[in-house]
Amino acid sequence: MSDEEEQRRDLAHRERARKHKAAVDAKIAAATRDKGLLLVLTGNGKGKSSSAFGMVARTLGYGRKAAVFQFIKGADEVGERAFFSRHPDVIWEKCGEGFTWETQDRQRDIAAARAGWEKAAAALAEPTVSLVVLDELTYPITYGYLEIDLVLAALAARPPMQHVVITGRSAHDRLIEAADTVSAIRDVKHAFRDGVRAQEGIDR
């Protein structure tokens, strides 16, 4: 490529970058509100719960408090629990007996989900808790163990600056409707289908 052609490309690049920066800056300047957010992380791909725990880390980094309620899949010992449950600013509750196909006891799962929800509802009424993670909450709602109206009412009545992250596949339409931010993580590939078991630090 000739020097002139290189220079022409550099100039064009600079002009495109300038326009892009002006557009981004204008959008940033227009976003001036603060608000307690409801996030729903759903879809079949890997990365929902681990993203929620990333936000727990961010919250603690500001010296704020976080509460995590693990619905359904609470029986396994996982790295995030070992790490965060020792932290003085974290409330960590296991609200499930394990996967439903493991317990094979519907009434026990219903009782565990409802007892877990009572604890979560207390955190949703507590303004000193900056972030509430309701991990795998989509399942007890889908199975009909928890009333969607009950859940939505507690979310609507929470302190105005409190953030909530709900994870799990197949989020209820009304949960998606109520949320401020929704991500559906797409399953493109997963090593499990290649015969790789859950790896510590990555999957658990």
Q: ∠ CA 24-35-169 to the nearest 5 degrees?
A: 85
**Partner whose binding site includes residue 50, from Mg ion, ligand ATP, none (CB under 5 to 8 Å by kind):** ligand ATP
100 is an interface residue for Mg ion by CB under 5 A? no
138 is an interface residue for Mg ion by CB under 5 A? no
Q: Which residues contact 17 (CB under 8 A, 6 or more apart)?
A: none
What x-and-dash track marks residues 46-65 binding Mg ion by CB under 5 A? --xx----------------
Q: In what order do the strands lie in the sheet with 181-184?
A: 90-94, 65-70, 129-135, 163-167, 38-42, 181-184
Residue in 116, 167, 171, 172 binding ligand ATP, rule: CB under 6 A: 167
Residue in 13, 104, 187, 196 binding ligand ATP, rule: CB under 6 A: 187
Cα–Cα distance, 202 to 5 (Å, whole number): 47
Cross-strand pairs, 95:
none
- The enclosing H or E element of 116 equals helix 106-123
From the number of C-beta atoms within 10 Å of its C-beta (0-12, 13-18, 19+), residue 11 rates as exposed
Q: Between 48 and 94, whose beta carbon lies closer to Mg ion?
A: 48
Span of 8-16, 43-51, 107-115, 173-181 interacting with ligand ATP by CB under 6 A = 43-51
Which whole-number Å values give the CA distances from 168 to 17, 40, 195, in the listed order? Answer: 38, 8, 23
Span of 10-18, 25-33, 56-64, 187-195 interacting with ligand ATP by CB under 6 A = 187-195
Judge whether 80 and 53 are in contact, CB under 8 Å.
Answer: yes
Cβ 144 to ligand ATP shortest distance, Å: 20
79 is an interface residue for ligand ATP by CB under 6 A? no
The gap from C-alpha 29 to its chain's centroid, in whole angstroms, comes to 27
What x-and-dash track marks residues 87-126 binding ligand ATP by CB under 6 A? ----------------------------------------
Cβ 198 to ligand ATP shortest distance, Å: 4
Q: Given the rule CB under 6 A, which residues bind ligand ATP?
A: 44-50, 136, 167, 187, 190, 192, 198, 203-204
